[in-house]
Amino acid sequence: MNAIVGKPAPQFSLDAVHQGQFHKVSLDDYKKKWLVVFFYPLNFTFVCPTEILAFSDRYDEFHKLGAELVGVSVDSKYSHLAWTDKTRKEGGIQGLRYPLLADLNRSMARDYGVLTDEGVALRGLFLIDPNGIVQHATINNLGVGRSVDETLRILQAFQFVREHGDVCPADWQPGEDGMKADPLESKLYFAKQA
């Protein structure tokens, strides 16, 4: 797998389901916006709906920060549509607030480095900035879901860096100070922490 952090996000243009309709969705649709792209293995599984719905339930928080979300799996748009029609009680994802992309030929999963030998995607999550550069990537194996809280924190940290030119120390939280990436000026930050 080639590292894509710090590089232009791989282009994509795929069929998607959003609000009960089929659409074509491409990276170009998100120019000048922050974008969270997350891959999941398959529809109608177990961990996947918990993640997909957790992100959907917090969609307003992402939107308030100027970010959009897309989910991606190797399932067809028809499978996505059927899953979005099922209620949560049935293991479905009815009411989903962002598009699900159908990566049937697995090109997007391959381009983002998350395709397994079995032909499904690992749980990859990518944060793309308004210039189309990948700022963050995490990849989990199939058995463990991702944290929406951590994704929001990472988004806000990269927005802070972009706006202020500072860097964010470990466990940085919104409202906290950043630090200057400079041998002398960084000592001001360290002095406040002692």
Contacts of 69 (CB under 8 A, 6+ apart): 35, 36, 38, 55, 59, 62, 97, 98
What number of H helices and E strands is found in the chain?
Answer: 6, 7
- Written as six digits, the tokens of 116 are 């397994």
Are 75 and 102 spatial neighbours (Cβ–Cβ below 8 Å)?
yes
Q: Are strands 67-73 and 21-26 parallel, antiparallel or unpaired?
A: unpaired
d(CA 164, CA 162): 6
Q: Which of 14, 37, 48, 128 is catalytic?
A: 48
Are 158 and 129 spatial neighbours (Cβ–Cβ below 8 Å)?
yes
- Is 168 designated active site? no
Q: Are strands 21-26 and 13-18 parallel, antiparallel or unpaired?
A: antiparallel
The residues that are catalytic are 48
